[in-house]
A and B are shown apart, each in its own frame.
Chain A
Amino acid sequence: MTAIPIARLTPLAWLRAGPLGVIWRSPRATTGAVIILLIAVLALLAPLISSYDPSSGAFTPWIKPGVGHLLGTTALGQDIFTQMLYGARLTLLIGIASGLISTAIGTALGLTAAYYGGRTGEVINTVTNIFLVLPGLPLLIIVSAFLRGGGVWAIILVISLTGWAWGARVLRSQALTLRNRDFIHAAVSTGESPARIIFKEMLPNLAGIIAANFFGTALYAVLSEAALSFIGIGDVSKVTWGTMLYWAQAKNALLQGAWWWVGAPGLGIAVLGMAFAFLNFGVDEISNPRSNHAGKATRVLRRKSVPKVVDAAGLPLMSIQHLDAGYVTPSGPVRAVRDVSLDVAPGEFLGLAGESGCGKSTLAFAATRLLDAPGAVFGGEARLAGQDLLSLTPEELRRTRWKDYSLVFQASMNILNPVIKVREQVYDAMQAHGVHDKTKLEARARELFELVGIRPDYLDAFPHQLSGGMKQRVVIAIALALEPKLVVMDEPTTALDVVVQRQILQEIDQVRRRLGISIIFITHDLSLLVEMSDRIAIMYAGEVVEEAPAQQIYTAPKHPYTQRLMTAFPPLSGARERREGIPGRPPSLAQEIVGCPFYERCAVHLPGTCDVKKPANVEVEPGHRVACFLQSPAVKPAVYQEEHDLASD
């Protein structure tokens, strides 16, 4: 999809603001950080805030919270507010120190396991799994029981030693993915040392995960300390929020009705824990952005109302008129499709070509209302047999889609649901549109599979038992299930090998001729498109710059961009001569483009004309439309000739 250039930046963007930047990008993580900072400041300034001693029992026992004692007093006559302030010190220390130590252990082991793999990796992996499944608290309890009297650091150590495994596991799987990234291979083949690769190349890329892991283990440590103190293991003479609970329980605070003695430290722990959890959750959410295909229908943000249905007689099967679509981003809208008009005749194979980011997929997905948020349609119409798809309610759309038109997505590993059988995934498309008879479903499914060249017994396979090519055939079979009039195919064979690609293209060609369906076929591979299509539309920077019958666009392209594209791939036969690509890159779609979008890269542009106003889309021959001033009757042909001579010198 066209959104990729934007999505690709997101994981890196936070680093521009430094390692801590990740926290401020999530409101939730920010809340967590503020709470922890607040607790830390209160703990550090405890002597300034309260003049009492946390352990001296100088006051009347069992005083209720009030003006003199904000949180009341204990059975021993200690001020609970003061205890809370001082207790926060050790509680925080235990949380942060244990978090740091176990994160360090987990990170070191996880990275080592991932980097070296093999036997070392297996051993670390097994140890990690064992520590993961052993029940943590009971283990903590018996270890601490034997280490009784070891003081705060013994507690920190024990908590760290039982709490590292989760982090090691997460780190290992993330680092394994990273280990197989090409920039690590590149560093290895450049001759970098393992230490430098681990610390300089891998570790910074894992910062988000490590941070999330630290906050997670800090939460675990705070809760573990509370639990250990509560059952009286550890040094109960020290003031922590955990030991406060121990004393409250030991002195039967609740039986005495002193709910505040129990309430305050517990709430403190819960809030501190929540702050750590917020940080963990927020950092994780930002470091692993997830896309979302769950929306019901693409948002349509156009202003004026258009007739929902017009008379289909005399209209092309699919008619896209002045479509504007793109993405709503925090820094303003990105207009990926700009005022595009395109028709598809019944039975026609229309090829849609262009570079990545030119808006071809956005066009197809917007017109069919499948563009996920933040994508949206800004204006225009998309009519299928007279009906405006952009006016349909989500339910109407659900009923129309697949029956009147269907889609074939780019081949991918996960295009089919991995946990249910292929049969169900073929059936459910038909069931959703009213076919429920079992024998009919079975017969149709077999028929479809034969149509696309797969043995029908694969109906009972699970997707992972199919090769990439077979999966894509299944997808095409599903797309044909309800005999739609139009199938939109978005790079359906790009990820496949040449031979399989050719097999599938042949099936598509046969099927569409036999069934008389129209196809919109999107690809960046022009040579393939020329061979397959009846008509081709070339997109550049969100606009259709040229549109013509396939052979004509190949033999006599009119737009300078098309002309360059047609010689921009090496030929399989003929003279072996040097050819040139197209230097430069397309303009950013986030800005307004004045004039011709190809101006910058065009060798024959007319300064003063092409960069000032938009070229009109004119029909130069029947069925051949071009948006270029050189083809416009308003501009003298002589100018074109002159420029052309200059360029070819």
Chain B
Amino acid sequence: MTSPATDATARSPQATSLPALELGGLTKVFVVGRGGKKVTAVNNVSLHIGRGEVLALVGESGSGKSTIARLIAHLHEPSSGSMKLSGQVVPNNLRGAALTKFRKHVQMIFQDPYGSLNGLNTIGYILSRPLVIHGIARGKDIPAQVNTLLERVGLAPGATWAAKKPHELSGGQRQRVVIARALAARPELILADEPTSALDVSIRLDIMNLLLDLKDQEGLSMLFITHDLAGARYMADRVSVMYTGYIVEIGPSDQVIDAPQHPYTQLLRSAAPKPDEAMRPERVEARGEVPDLSNLPPGCPFEPRCPQARAACREGLPRMYDVGPGHQARCILHDPALAQQPLLHPERAPTV
């Protein structure tokens, strides 16, 4: 068997046409508390997702990865920046009918299948709503369509499952319903916000495989948000790593994960569990924790924790450097001149 992700891209017929999604300088500033303190959760994010492509967004909590999905889904209004869906500009302040129409094209899958289904409604009702709202089925057609949806996500026979309420289902089954709901509107883009992290290990792969299969069958594009590098590697064609609202590295997933070019991605990789090596030899130099978003350092946001920090890191946000084909990293180490500067914290450097 070949890699599920790369295999899919190769098969996708429209890989070269207009990207499914393009974000240009997307920014979201939240005002928190009564003091009017401002927090920039997403900072000038530009990226694109090709047709039939899976882009993974990787980061720790507070990195802004979920906020991006909510901005794309228009659950929050972006503070600035632009967004194009299949080449068409989507205004930031969509309202009313235009917004409903837009929602048909972009659907979300949430993290916690216990929280994302209203416990009082039947599965059938939950799945009928997107069909009705977006005019996909009417009247007597609805139950048949609902059954088809359920069977497509592996819940057969559909009629039996449609009559149940969420509490009668296991976590994995609920997540299948959530996926079916997202598919119901026949969207082009799926935003999957940590769809497996609330599930048991034994069923995570099933859900990931289901998503990959559906993506292939429907020609969907997908934003896959996760904190798990291995999961990103399994699912995605490309990976974007986020830290404190910035993209710090983006590129093909085997390059970003197997040979990370940003010290933060390197840290994430070394921190991930690796059952094939006993942990004793490798000692991760991970100092401190993610800084307070309302009080970021002036330069590179990772500088305070970075073992490789140079003086230049404190002089403003580094730009994105090309580090390989379609692979960029926001780190001055890729500027040959600046990389010559002495280390700010030689004691943090890995002792090899």
Q: In the complex they form, do A and B come into direct contact, defined as C-beta atoms under 8 angstroms apart? A: yes
Known contacts A204-B120, A572-B233; A186/B110 CB under 8 A: yes
Q: Please tell me if the beta carbons of A501 and B271 are within 8 angstroms of each other in the complex.
A: yes
Most buried by B among A8, A9, A575, A578: A578
Complex contact B103–A532 (CB within 8 A) = no
CA distance A551 to B275 in the complex (A): 9
- The reply to whether B278 and A531 form a contact with Cβ atoms under 8 Å apart is yes
Roughly how many angstroms separate A356 CA and B113 CA in the complex, as a whole number?
Answer: 15
Q: List the A side residues contacting B280 at CB < 8 Å.
A: 509
Q: Contact partner of A189 among B103, B114, B117, B201, CB < 8 A?
A: B103
Asked whether A527 lies within 8 Å of B258 as measured between CB atoms, the reply is no
A304 part of interface (Cβ distance < 8 Å): no
Q: Which residues of chain A from 160 to 184 have any CB-CB distance to chain B below 8 Å in the complex? A: 181-183
Give min CB distance, A277 to chain B, whole Å. 28
In the complex, A308 has a CB within 8 A of chain B:
no
Within 8 A of A (CB), among B41-77: 60-61, 70, 73-75
Query: Is A579 part of the contact surface with B, judged by Cβ < 8 Å?
Result: yes
Q: How near does chain B come to A3, taking the closest CB pair, in angstroms?
A: 15
Contact across chains for B286 and A191 when beta carbons are under 8 A apart = no
Task: Give residues of chain B (93-150) contacting chain A, Cβ–Cβ below 8 Å.
Answer: 99-100, 103-104, 106-108, 110-112, 114-120, 129-130, 133-134
Q: Is A570 an interface position by the 8 A CB rule?
A: yes
A570 to B268, CA, bound (A): 16
Interface pair A356/B200, CB less than 8 Å apart: yes
Query: Is A237 close to B, CB under 8 A?
Result: no
Q: Which residues of the partner chain A approach B273 to less than 8 Å between Cβ atoms?
A: 525, 527-528, 530-531
B5 contacts chain A at the CB level, 8 A cutoff: yes
> Measured between C-beta atoms, what is the minimum distance from B211 to chain A in Å?
12
Asked if A38 is at the interface of the complex by the 8 Å CB criterion, the answer is: no
Report whether A576 and B6 are in contact in the complex, using a CB–CB cutoff of 8 Å.
yes
Please tell me if A126 contacts chain B, counting CB pairs below 8 Å. no
User: Cα distance A8–B119 when bound, in Å?
Assistant: 10
Q: What's the least CB distance linking B16 to chain A, in Å?
A: 23
Would you call B202 an interface residue if the criterion is a C-beta within 8 Å of the partner chain's C-beta atoms? Answer: yes
For residue B19, CB closer than 8 A to chain A, the reply is: no
Option from A192, A467, A470, A506 in Cβ contact (under 8 Å) with B279: A506
CB neighbours of A181 from chain B (8 A): 115-116
Q: Given A9, A190, A554, which contacts B185 in the complex, CB threshold below 8 Å?
A: A190
Q: Which of B196-244 contact A (CB under 8 A)?
A: 200-209, 227-231, 233-234
Q: How many residues of B are counted as interface, with CB atoms below 8 angstroms from the partner's CB atoms?
A: 80
Asked if B133 contacts A526 (CB within 8 A), the reply is: no
Residues of B within 8 A of A565 (CB): 201-202
Residue of A nearest to B3 (CB): A576
Residues on B with beta carbons closer than 8 Å to the beta carbon of A204: 120
A546-558 interface mask toward B, CB cutoff 8 Å, 1 = contact, 0 = none? Answer: 0000010010000
Contacting residues, chain A, for B257 (C-beta < 8 A): 572
Residues on the B chain within 8 Å of A287, using CB:
none
CA–CA, A190 to B204, complex, Å? 24
Is B209 touching A502 in the complex (CB atoms < 8 A)? no
B contact residues around A579 at 8 Å (CB): 205, 234
Q: Are A581 and B133 in contact (CB under 8 A)?
A: no
Identify the closest chain A residue to B5 (Cβ): A576
A355:B231 contact, CB within 8 angstroms:
no
B344: Cβ under 8 A from any A Cβ: no
Bound CA span A579–B208, Å: 10
Task: Indicate if A498 sits at the interface (CB-CB under 8 A).
Answer: yes
| B310 contacts chain A at the CB level, 8 A cutoff | no
8 Å CB interface, A538-571 against B: 551, 554, 564-565, 568-571
Closest chain B residue to A357, Cβ basis: B200
Show 19 A/B contacts (Cβ-Cβ < 8 Å), sorted by A.
Answer: A9-B167, A181-B116, A185-B110, A189-B73, A191-B99, A497-B61, A499-B60, A499-B289, A500-B289, A503-B284, A569-B204, A572-B269, A576-B5, A576-B233, A577-B4, A579-B234, A581-B204, A581-B207, A582-B202
**Which A residues form the contact surface with B (CB < 8 A)?**
8-9, 11-12, 15, 181-183, 185-192, 201, 204-205, 355-356, 467, 469-470, 497-503, 505-506, 509, 524-528, 530-532, 551, 554, 564-565, 568-573, 575-583, 585
Known contacts A11-B119, A585-B172; 11 further A-B pairs (Cβ under 8 A): A182-B110, A192-B133, A498-B60, A499-B268, A500-B286, A502-B270, A564-B202, A565-B201, A572-B229, A577-B4, A581-B209
